């Protein structure tokens, strides 16, 4: 029996709630497991399905406007596992690397490099292995002090953001990403690392270059070793067309937060998807039509060509000069009026629901469209919050929206209000409300600081992991109970279960 795989033409999100129930019977798993498979697809929707199931799912995707290929799995050559490069050398012939577990260095000619995938990945920093590499083999840069590690990462982003000179004006200062690195490195005991994956055109070789190490030489084997991120401009100059879309977006600068991969598995699947996508784009005949072929046809009925009437000839009369001048003046006056009415200067602010710190941004808008955004820093309100006094740990700031005050030119359209857009989901909001109640127990001496510190992470994760609103409501009721109902004792007992 021939097996088929469904490969998306673009890296776009697919709704797991819609396609999880459709994919579950084909995989023979539960709907929940199918939804998880859809969520982590990264362009590879499904692999090794029976032909009729694959065509059915491909038709559903295309009906929703998601373009895809329904390709025989035999035409998609499986890629080997990525091999870590322990030293990198750029020579005229190609890229020469010493690979982990291989006694002799290998050379990949420039014209044989089919895909270059540069990605920022959150990897564990407390495990024995990081991305398949033993912790003792990680370069000494990972053991540097915090300021030195931040400097290395800032320089890395500075180099990546300035490779494509066409986007030089869009590249922010490297120090602008300091906060981004500082927060992501602490997320769930993970740190951000950058990798450059190089895949050969035939898919036989897959090399991984850790860009935070220092074993790169350019031009000669006897030259001094330098930081691996200096290999990124060389790969870009030699094989610009082989870079993935995510790599090019990373080079353009801007907000790189949206380009980071949460796990190494997601980065691996993205590189695999891009390799197969380029192969199918070069050889579209390798993919099968999504619809089953009907008798006497090939299943691809051509779209009818609509005949359009020829445009009627319009005699162009030469306009008088005075009418042209009047129209130009009227257009300029209309444009100036539109700019004056639509231009707004906005001051918006947000409160962190965890530590109560405030942030204020300055935004210039034209008819609601932001022209320039200046993001502010998170600052304390007064002497500090209960979180700072009792917990005092670094965290990602969460907020449910922005309050704003807008001022228009000549006072037109001035006002204030609230924008209900934030980075906190309902689970985060309920978890923050529960722990805020936990802090009040210490203020009324119903719980000791030790009890609060021990209960805080457990309570926060228990509420945040509850997807059912009714389950979170039960925690909220326990946290909001009055002290005379023995609320701290009941809640602490519930957490310890």
pLDDT value for 76: 86
Does 208 lie in the same domain as 146? yes
Q: Tell me the β-bridge partners of 365.
A: 344, 370
Q: Is 36 helix (H, G, I), strand (E, B) or coil?
A: helix
Q: Which two three-digit tokens encode residue 282?
A: 């070069």
Answer yes or no: is 178 within a domain. Answer: yes
Averages of pLDDT over each 10 residues, the chain, 497 residues:
87 86 88 86 86 90 89 87 92 91 91 91 58 45 52 63 49 48 51 86 91 84 79 87 87 70 87 90 68 39 42 45 77 84 86 87 86 86 79 83 83 81 84 80 74 81 83 77 58 69
**94 and 231 fall within a common domain:** yes
Q: What is the Cα–Cα distance from 268 to 349, expressed in whole angstroms?
A: 38
| Max intra-chain CA distance, the chain | 90
Please state, in angstroms and rounded to a whole number, the distance separating the CA atoms of residues 62 and 288: 14
- Note whether 223 and 251 are same-domain residues: yes
Residue 167: Cβ-neighbour burial (10 angstroms; 0-12, 13-18, 19+): middle
CA neighbor of 321 nearest in space, from 332, 329, 313: 329
Where would I find the beta strands (DSSP E) of 92-224?
94-99, 106-109, 113-124, 129-130, 133-134, 190-200, 206-210, 216-218
Task: Report the pLDDT value the prediction gives residue 405, as an integer from 0 to 100.
Answer: 87
Looking at the structure, do residues 209 and 352 belong to the same domain, yes or no? no
pLDDT, position 155? 66
Counting the structural domains of the chain, the total is 4
Name the CA radius of gyration of the chain, rounded: 29
Strand 378-379 to strand 358-366: parallel, antiparallel, or no bridges (unpaired)?
A: antiparallel
pLDDT, residue 317, reads: 44
Note the pLDDT of residue 427. Answer: 85
The answer to whether residues 51 and 101 belong to one domain is no
Q: What is the pLDDT of residue 110?
A: 93
Are 448 and 360 within one domain?
A: no
Asked if 91 and 226 sit in the same domain, the reply is yes
pLDDT for residue 196:
92
Sign of torsion over alpha carbons 32, 38, 39, 44: positive
Which of 32, 60, 76 finishes a domain?
76
For residues 90 and 233, membership in a common domain is answered with yes
Tell me, yes or no, whether 292 lies in a domain.
no
Task: Indicate whether 150 and 89 sit together in one domain.
Answer: yes
| Residues 219 and 111 placed together within one structural domain of the fold | yes
Instruction: Give the DSSP letter of residue 211.
Output: T
d(Cα 497, Cα 495) in Å, to the nearest integer? 6
Asked if residue 10 is part of any domain, the answer here is yes
Query: Could you tell me the CATH number of the domain that includes residue 14?
Result: 3.30.1390.10
pTM for the full predicted model: 0.51
Boundaries of domain holding 483: 426-496
Residue at a domain's end among 227, 259, 291: 259
Q: 116 and 184 share a domain? A: yes
Last residue of a domain, one of 221, 239, 259: 259
pLDDT of residue 342: 81
Q: Which of 428, 424, 438, 437 lies closest to 461 in space, CA to CA? A: 428
Is the same domain home to 54 and 98? Answer: no
Residue 286 covered by a domain: no
And the tokens for 421? 């857009």
What tokens appear for 258 in the block? 């949206």
Determine, yes or no, domain membership for 328: no
Give residue 302's pLDDT: 39
Is residue 329 one of the residues assigned to a domain? no
Determine the Cα–Cα distance for residues 12 and 67; give it in Å rounded to an integer. 10
Question: Is 127 domain-assigned?
Answer: yes
């Amino acid at each position: 029996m021939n097996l088929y795989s469904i490969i998306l033409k673009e890296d776009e999100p697919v709704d797991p709630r819609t396609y999880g129930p459709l994919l579950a019977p084909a995989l023979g798993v539960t709907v929940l497991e199918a939804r998880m498979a859809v969520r982590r697809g990264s362009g590879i929707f499904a692999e090794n399905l029976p032909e009729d199931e694959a065509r059915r799912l491909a038709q559903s995707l295309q009906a929703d406007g998601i373009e895809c290929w329904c390709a025989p799995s035999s035409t998609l050559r499986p890629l080997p596992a990525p091999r870590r490069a322990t030293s990198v050398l750029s020579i005229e012939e190609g890229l020469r690397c010493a690979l982990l577990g291989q006694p002799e260095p290998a050379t990949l000619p420039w014209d044989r490099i089919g895909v270059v995938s540069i990605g920022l990945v959150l990897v564990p920093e407390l495990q024995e292995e990081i991305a398949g590499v033993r912790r003792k083999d990680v370069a000494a840069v990972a053991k540097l002090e915090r300021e030195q590690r931040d400097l290395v990462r800032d320089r890395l982003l500075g180099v990546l953001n300035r490779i494509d000179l066409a986007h030089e004006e869009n590249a922010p200062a490297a120090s602008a990403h300091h906060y981004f690195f500082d927060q992501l490195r602490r997320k769930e005991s993970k740190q951000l690392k950058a990798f450059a994956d190089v895949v050969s055109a035939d898919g036989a070789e897959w090399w991984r270059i850790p860009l935070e190490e220092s074993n790169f030489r350019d031009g000669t084997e006897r030259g001094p070793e330098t930081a691996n991120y200096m290999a990124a401009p060389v790969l870009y100059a030699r094989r610009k067309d082989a870079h993935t879309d995510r790599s090019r977006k990373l080079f353009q600068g801007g907000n790189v937060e949206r380009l980071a991969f949460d796990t190494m598995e997601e980065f691996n699947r993205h590189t695999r998807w891009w390799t197969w996508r380029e192969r199918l784009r070069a050889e579209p005949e390798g993919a099968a039509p999504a619809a089953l072929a009907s008798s006497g046809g090939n299943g691809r009925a051509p779209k009818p060509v609509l005949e359009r009437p020829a445009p009627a000839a319009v005699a162009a009369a030469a306009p008088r000069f005075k009418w042209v001048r009047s129209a130009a003046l009227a257009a300029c006056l209309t444009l100036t009026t539109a700019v004056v009415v639509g231009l707004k200067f906005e001051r918006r602010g947000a409160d962190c629901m965890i530590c109560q710190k405030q942030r204020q941004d300055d935004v210039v808008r034209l008819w609601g469209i932001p022209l320039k955004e200046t993001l502010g820093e998170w600052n304390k309100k007064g002497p500090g919050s209960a979180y700072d006094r009792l917990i005092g740990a670094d965290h990602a700031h969460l907020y449910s929206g922005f309050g704003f005050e807008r001022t228009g030119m000549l006072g037109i359209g001035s006002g204030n209000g609230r924008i209900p857009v934030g980075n906190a989901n309902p689970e985060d909001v309920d978890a923050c409300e529960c722990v805020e109640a936990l802090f009040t127990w210490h203020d009324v001496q119903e719980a000791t600081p030790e009890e609060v510190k021990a209960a805080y992470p457990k309570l926060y994760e228990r509420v945040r992991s509850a997807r059912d609103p009714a389950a979170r409501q039960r925690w909220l009721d326990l946290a909001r109970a009055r002290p005379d109902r023995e609320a701290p004792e009941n809640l602490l007992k519930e957490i310890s279960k």
